[in-house]
Amino acid sequence: MKRGLDCLQVSLWAGSAADYEKQYSGSHVNNYYRVVDALKHAAALKKQHNKTRPAVVLHHVINRYNFENLDQVARLAAATNCTALSLSPFL
């Protein structure tokens, strides 16, 4: 907040813990929850300090393993009070 960051973009590639485990096999699922908690914390700090910046954008790369769960990603962006949701295909 104090550094004047305009935008914080977070790429998670998953809208749920189960999807996270599929995307990052071998990674501990707690990493997913740490990112979700950090997104919620960023929103809470902005509210506490009455700031609109940085914009917090949840970025989701769409691939063959997660394309059917875009609704979960949208719900996650809303639940964590992200400013925006960004989608892009994995090419």
Q: What is the per-residue pLDDT across 31-55, written as a single tens digit (0 to 9) for each? A: 999 999 999 999 999 999 999 999 9
Dist. CA 28–CA 23, nearest whole Å:
11
Dist. CA 60–CA 68, nearest whole Å:
13
Dist. CA 84–CA 91, nearest whole Å:
22
Residue 4: band (very low, low, confident or very high) from pLDDT cuts 50, 70, 90 = confident
Reported pTM: 0.89
| pLDDT attached to residue 61 | 94
Residues 34/24, Cβ–Cβ less than 8 Å: no
Beta bridge partners of 89: 62
pLDDT, tens digit, 9 for 90 and up, residues 56-80: 999 999 998 889 999 999 999 999 9
pLDDT, tens digit, 9 for 90 and up, residues 16-35: 999 999 889 899 999 999 99
